[in-house]
Structure 1
Amino acid sequence: MAELHVIGQIVGASGFAAKKLFCVWEISSGGAWTAISGDKDGQTQVDRPEIDDFALWSHPLDVHFATKGIQGWPKISFQVWSVDNYNRSEMCAYGFCNIPSTPGEHKVECETWRPVGGLRDRIITFFLGGGPQLRDLNVVHNGLQRHRLYTKSMGKVYLQIGVLMRGFEKFGVEFS
């Protein structure tokens, strides 16, 4: 079996209007992939930037996969949340990016977005806060379902990822 090691960190996020941010993350993959060790999901701590708008999380990632093929390559999805002055959590944005498919160190910037909803939803959001949320989180990384949503661009999530691969040449995958 081929093996994939993903080692790195969720560095932080910027470009969000809200302060006191945290991130819920999940690494998903196809049926041919098995997580041998490490956490495939988690949550960062809350950070409230004092000087600029960069929320610093430095949350570790360390996952080891085994696979018999490259179909269903792993991807990481994010939900960025904010905490208000009353300690209520509010959804800020969704995003995802593919785990890099070449060995080495990678700096990845993940664009995020949030659903806008209709006029009624926007009025409710303006007066009460909150906003529309997804019922099915698979929509985040499934383009066939996501194209029907009205969305608004939000900030970015930054990652530093080291990718180690072993045994992929058995399946005809070569890296130059």
Structure 2
Amino acid sequence: MSVSSPSVFLVNVTGQIECGRFLNGDNLRFNYCFTAGHDWEVVTGLEECMSQTACRSDDERQVFVWNFPFDITFKSTNPYGWPQVILSVYGTDFFGNTVIMGYTACHVPITPGKYTRRLTTFVPESASTVQKLLSWLTGRRPEFINPKLIAQGRGREVTRVRSQGEVTITFNVMMKDFTKFGYDCGATGKTPYLAVQPQPQRSVTVPSEGQSEA
């Protein structure tokens, strides 16, 4: 019995947003969302979600622990536009206003296995000192209307940002039917990955002078 070739390949991503380190603010929560290219489609799982609120730990680490899980499966026929996860962390400032504490983005690992990523977060900066003072007094800090902007290259060159804090994420990645599309995902820690498998080369005999081709 012949088995028909698959029409798509699958990428399953599970894991959790573990914790964050921020010098300022308290009562932190985050929104996460996944974004991918036009050829990608979500099969199962939540594409975006909001976490619970975490307070700063009382030990010497001074971290915010969420341990918030995620589980999502994509299908596609083209690896271009590989999925990314985007985090928007919010918290309360000195005056009790809810403000943005940091943005960050990360590509889903492109080989199967378990991974841990420590991502540096950043916040947009005001264009002038006067605007910075007004935003601090009113509690209306600069933030992106669409957080997916940080996963794109277009428009980022005119944005002023400042590093602030970090977030730790763990990924568990599983893939299916990549080899049937001619892609070699490789194993964890090995290269190359997502490389098109080379086609067998045909040997060609070049005739010498005075001889004609057969």
Q: TM-score range by the shorter chain?
A: over 0.9
Q: Report the CA distance between 1:8 and its aligned residue.
A: 0.6
Which range moved further: 84-93 or 35-44? Answer: 84-93
Q: Report the CA distance between 1:172 and its aligned residue.
A: 2.1
Q: Are the aligned partners of 2:89 and 2:100 in contact in 1 as well (CA < 8 Å)?
A: yes
2:125 pairs, out of 116, 120, 124, with 116
* Runs of 5+ unmatched residues, structure 2: 1-7, 187-214
- Residue in 2 that maps onto 1:155: 165
1:173 pairs, out of 175, 183, 201, with 183
Give the residue type in structure 1 aligned to 2:80: Q
Question: Which is strand-richer, 1 or 2?
Answer: 1
Q: Do residues 32 (structure 1) and 39 (structure 2) align?
A: yes
- Residue in 1 that maps onto 2:205: none
Q: Deviations over 1:21-59 (max 9, x none)?
A: 101010111111111111111011100023232111011
Q: Are the aligned partners of 2:10 and 2:177 in contact in 1 as well (CA < 8 Å)?
A: yes
- Residue in 1 that maps onto 2:103: 94
Q: Report the CA distance between 1:144 and its aligned residue.
A: 2.5
Q: 1:86 to 1:123 in 2, by over 3 A?
A: closer
Larger Rg, first or second structure (1 or 2): 2
Q: Which has the higher contact order (CA 8 A, sep 6+)?
A: 1
Give the residue type in structure 2 aligned to 1:10: I
**Aligned ranges for residues 135-146 of structure 1 at < 5 Å?**
135-146=145-156
Q: Do residues 10 (structure 1) and 17 (structure 2) align?
A: yes
* Runs of 5+ unmatched residues, structure 1: none
Give the residue type in structure 1 aligned to 2:110: S
SS at match of 2:164: strand
Q: Are the aligned partners of 1:20 and 1:84 in contact in 2 as well (CA < 8 Å)?
A: no
Q: Deviations over 1:118-152 (max 9, x none)?
A: 22221113323331111232321112311211110
Cα distance in 1 between the residues matched to 2:93 and 2:162: 21
Give the residue type in structure 1 aligned to 2:68: H
Q: 1:28 to 1:110 in 2, by over 3 A?
A: same
- Residue in 2 that maps onto 1:81: 90
Cα distance in 1 between the residues matched to 2:115 and 2:157: 28
Q: 1:46 to 1:27 in 2, by over 3 A?
A: same
SS at match of 1:48: coil
Give the residue type in structure 1 aligned to 2:25: A
SS at match of 2:165: strand
Which range moved further: 19-28 or 45-54? Answer: 45-54
Q: Do residues 46 (structure 1) and 69 (structure 2) align?
A: no
Q: Are the aligned partners of 2:97 and 2:139 in contact in 1 as well (CA < 8 Å)?
A: no
Q: Deviations over 1:45-98 (max 9, x none)?
A: 100023232111011110011111101110000110003588642111111110
Q: Are the aligned partners of 2:87 and 2:103 in contact in 1 as well (CA < 8 Å)?
A: yes
- How many residues of Structure 1 are paired with residues of Structure 2 in the alignment? 176
* % identical equivalent positions: 22
2:76 pairs, out of 42, 67, 85, with 67
Q: Are the aligned partners of 2:88 and 2:104 in contact in 1 as well (CA < 8 Å)?
A: yes
Cα distance in 1 between the residues matched to 2:145 and 2:94: 26
